Structure 1
Amino acid sequence: MTVFTHHDPLTLRLSLREKVAYGMGDFGSNLMLCIGTLYLLKFYTDELGLPAFYGGIIFLIAKFFTAFTDMLTGVLVDSRRHIGPRGKFRPFILYASVPVALVATAQFMANDFSLTVKTALATVLFMLFGLFYSLMNCAYGAMVPAITKNPQERAQLAAWRQGGATLGLLLCTVGFMPLQALFTTTPSLGYLLAAFCFACCGLFCMWWCYRGVNERYVEVSPDHHKPSIAKSFCAIFHNPPLLVLCIANLCTLAAFNIKLAIQVYYTQYVLSDIHLLSWMGLFSMGCILIGVLLVPAAVKRFGKKQVYLGGLALWALGDVLNYLWGATSFSFVLFSCMAFFGTAFVNSLNWALVPDTVDYGEWKTGIRAEGSVYTGYTFSRKISAALAGFLPGIMLTQIGYVPNVLQSEATLAGLRQLLFIWPAALAVLAAVTMGFFYKLNEARFAFIIEDIARRKKSAGNTPADAPTGPCPLPHYK
């Protein structure tokens, strides 16, 4: 079933109010996510007293677990047959955001249990956070094709989403540690109260998103299409543009998360000024916001793929310059701004490209499955996040990191390599992948949308040529 509320979906314009509401969704989710991405490993090592190796193992286990809960979310979304007035996706945003906020706060609770119990408790809490976050955030991301079919409006929604995510990351970077530092005598309490404040703000923003967006094109999969985790994997390998995007995103998200996890150590021990992190966050996230604002115009002029590749080039260049000449606070902030400016285009277009692959999948197979496609994509993101959380913990151990003491020269050199060389190399690998293998350009996408509309018009909105056999090997027609 398809519900159309506009005579020409390709020309529908969304209101500014709805775009802002959609952006608030990623602002809120990132307020709750980034406090863990940025500071949870440091909380584990410096407050809970867990070895960095243990922190890496916790990240690895929890993120691999949530990779599969993302798949489960896709199954739940695509399994819905009776869609109420709240829509197909919005109820997940409404109800799952409450436990996300609660668990995000509970992760920063200090305790005096044994090392084994501390590790087990931290792992369970992180896994619960991932489960509820999957239910909330995967539905939020998969909702875009139900909001609009206009590719320019999708690009703008992606820009608003990335703008919200950037503001959330900026606020976490600039505000969390100063808020935590107010409790100098009890730093563990500072972590808990700071996490509580950010979680409450995030919950409010998710509810704002729920109330402000509309699902105009709600589609229910036919009864013979039984969604499953296996079909989510199949959605990736039967959809060449999605497969390429997953591989590129595996690289870019790992690079970005490694940077976020290591920069707090770098500013404290290499530059000897942990408060510089707030200033760096202010300027670099400001550069990201500028980049996000430029995304729609840049895409209109050059196309999504070219803008994506340009962002990767700026990102890699900024990291290489920082490794060579980023030994001072000024140069570190300057080159970080260049790198983060490049990430704005990459991270924004990640979300603008996914809805295009949904339409490609429908055109190729006759079956539309936003949940399976989106969660297949987020599966690759969670695998990347698992590696990005695991590697810093392992590498901190390998380079000889010891909490709250002066670090050796070898350790300082290792921190520089972790923060700059690894992300730059991954950005280059992503650029090669997208440059040579991603073929879904604007002209091809416009043809696909028109062809889908013609099929539905001639077949009474029922795909007549939907294949029912197993997924063939990926290829382009």
Structure 2
Amino acid sequence: METKKQEKKGLSGGLKKFYGVGDMGFNLMSSIESYYFSIFLTNLAKFSLPMVTFITTTASTVDALLSWIYGAILNSIKPMKWGRYRSWLIAIPWLVPFLYAFQFVKIGDGMLSAVLIIIAAIASHVAWNFAYVANVSMISVAGKTPEERSQLSATRAAWSNFSKVIFSYVGPGLAAVMAGIIGEVNQYGGAAFALGCVMAVLYYAHFKMFDGYEVVQPEKGTEKKNAKDKTGGMDLIRALLQNPPLIALLIADLAKFMFNFVLMGVAAYYFTYIAGDSKMLTTYILITNIFCVVGAYLSKTLSNKFTTRTTTIGVMAIQAVLLLVSYFMYNRVTVVIVLMSIAMFGYGITYACTPALYGDTIVYSEWKTGKNAAGWISGLQNVPLKVSIMTRGIIITACLAMGNFSPDIDPAAASEELKNAISIGFMVIPAIALIIAVVALVFGFKLTKAKVDQYAAEIASRS
């Protein structure tokens, strides 16, 4: 008689300490694109600015349009050998280095080369998004309680943010080494391949850590269990539309990512045209990223003391206040760096807390609909991320236009109008986004720890 292997209960020491190393590898890999894709297209591949705009806009738009689909597919198809979600941590990541490298290789000239780069960018993102969504879905699979989900989210966030500190040293050096081996034009392709391999190896480490937490059901006598785990189109729609906390969380998550990406994009303008010292940007990035890591590390302590929901709302409100205070003091550069560092400390906390909140909405959805939509809901985390990347460019461009920006302006002669416009993008708009997030969570996300525990117990009693 075929028996079902018992699922592990409680988090292992490995998960408590090292879950998130895969995310560190993922961020190291994707940072090549974040920092070097544009300069590769303009300075190395020698594309015209209109062609660069065409390549980046096409790739990012398709990426955003596909962002919702990964969780839906994971939730709807037949599970593979090692489970519905865990299997994807080993099945897909090995393809990424080969696809991703061609995003930074120019083959031929003109439109053909541009099309090949776009195809490589889209294909590599599709491949890594399946693994990314499966990875975050495992938080709700292995984490059976709000405390366990908070633990996994905090550890993941700490490793993820630590990658930013590592990349500031590894990224430029690795590119320089590759330039010496395969040539300057293809240096970022070599770096992308190397860090893609690092990502695949570290996702495999996650695969091993989650062994026993997602048990594959035997073929016989499991129709009821399989029916609960497999979802159709209407099940996915209900999981979203009948889940007000999830909708509120998606709004708040969009604000969280907008805060991060807009700050990253505008910081260079702030230190060039307001601080008057572009070299300070390197120091600013290092300090704020260290604060981010510390915030992520401490998020579990705060969540256990105040609950994850309360911590997220409180921290976002404080971040908004810090940004608005910075705006009224934008000419005092040292004060701005201090306030922004504290705000980024808060980002580390909220970055760690939101996956745990998504876990709560997964429990609520299963309690309400009777269907486990973990992959679908976890995959929706991709949507705010991709939308925020798209809107970042619009926001930055609009603020620069408001200040009559021109690259020909001497930074020392920047007008107050331009400084004010840059500061609005750097401080006011992210603050407004965070205020909207606070309102959405206060009035839309009403899942308390007691309610989530109650829903989880009722779900368990149905099995």
- Give me the TM-score of the superposition, normalised by structure 2: 0.83
Q: What are the ranges of 5 or more consecutive residues in structure 2 without an aligned counterpart?
A: 218-224
Instruction: Write the distance in 2 (CA, Å) between the matches of 1:54 and 1:391.
Output: 21
Q: Does 1:128 align with 2:123?
A: yes
Instruction: Write the distance in 2 (CA, Å) between the matches of 1:447 and 1:138.
Output: 27
Equivalence for 1:78: 75
Q: Does 1:445 align with 2:452?
A: yes
1:313-349 Cα shifts (integer Å, max 9, x gaps): 2322333343333446534432221110111121111
Farther off after superposition, 419-428 or 236-245? 419-428
Change (3 A) 1:82 1:181: closer
1:172-215 Cα shifts (integer Å, max 9, x gaps): 34543466578999975554555455434333322222222235
Equivalence for 1:98: 94
Q: 2:178·2:191 contact (CA, 8 Å) conserved in 1?
A: no
Q: 2:88·2:130 contact (CA, 8 Å) conserved in 1?
A: yes
How many pairs were matched up?
A: 449
Instruction: Write the distance in 1 (CA, Å) between the matches of 2:333 and 2:178.
Output: 26
Farther off after superposition, 211-220 or 163-172? 211-220
| Amino acid in structure 2 at the alignment position of 1:385 | I
Q: 2:238·2:369 contact (CA, 8 Å) conserved in 1?
A: no
| Amino acid in structure 2 at the alignment position of 1:354 | Y
Equivalence for 1:364: 368
Q: 2:365·2:371 contact (CA, 8 Å) conserved in 1?
A: yes
| Amino acid in structure 2 at the alignment position of 1:437 | G
> Which of 387, 400, 425 is the aligned partner of 1:418?
425
State the SS of the aligned residue for 1:344.
helix
Equivalence for 1:282: 286
Equivalence for 2:138: 143
Instruction: Write the distance in 1 (CA, Å) between the matches of 2:108 and 2:400.
Output: 24
State the SS of the aligned residue for 1:367.
coil
Q: Does 1:163 align with 2:170?
A: no
Farther off after superposition, 250-259 or 42-51? 42-51
- Give me the TM-score of the superposition, normalised by structure 1: 0.81
Instruction: Write the distance in 1 (CA, Å) between the matches of 2:192 and 2:276.
Output: 25
Farther off after superposition, 392-401 or 248-257? 392-401
Instruction: Write the distance in 1 (CA, Å) between the matches of 2:5 and 2:446.
Output: 29
Farther off after superposition, 286-295 or 352-361? 286-295
Q: 1:291·1:341 contact (CA, 8 Å) conserved in 2?
A: yes
Instruction: Write the distance in 2 (CA, Å) between the matches of 1:324 and 1:379.
Output: 33
Instruction: Write the distance in 2 (CA, Å) between the matches of 1:58 and 1:76.
Output: 27
Change (3 A) 1:405 1:180: farther
Equivalence for 1:107: 103
Q: 2:74·2:85 contact (CA, 8 Å) conserved in 1?
A: yes
Q: 1:100·1:133 contact (CA, 8 Å) conserved in 2?
A: yes
Q: 1:94·1:210 contact (CA, 8 Å) conserved in 2?
A: yes
| Amino acid in structure 2 at the alignment position of 1:434 | L
Q: 2:323·2:339 contact (CA, 8 Å) conserved in 1?
A: yes
Q: 1:4·1:216 contact (CA, 8 Å) conserved in 2?
A: no
| Amino acid in structure 1 at the alignment position of 2:441 | M
| Amino acid in structure 1 at the alignment position of 2:213 | R
Instruction: Write the distance in 2 (CA, Å) between the matches of 1:183 and 1:65.
Output: 30
Q: 1:96·1:133 contact (CA, 8 Å) conserved in 2?
A: yes
Q: Does 1:22 align with 2:19?
A: yes
> Which of 325, 328, 334 is the aligned partner of 1:330?
334
| Amino acid in structure 2 at the alignment position of 1:357 | T
Q: Does 1:348 align with 2:344?
A: no
Change (3 A) 1:141 1:225: closer
Q: How much does 1:77 deviate?
A: 1.7
Q: What are the ranges of 5 or more consecutive residues in structure 1 without an aligned counterpart?
A: 457-477
Q: How much does 1:256 deviate?
A: 1.5
| Amino acid in structure 1 at the alignment position of 2:346 | G
Q: CA RMSD in A?
A: 3.6
Equivalence for 1:65: 62
Change (3 A) 1:233 1:390: farther
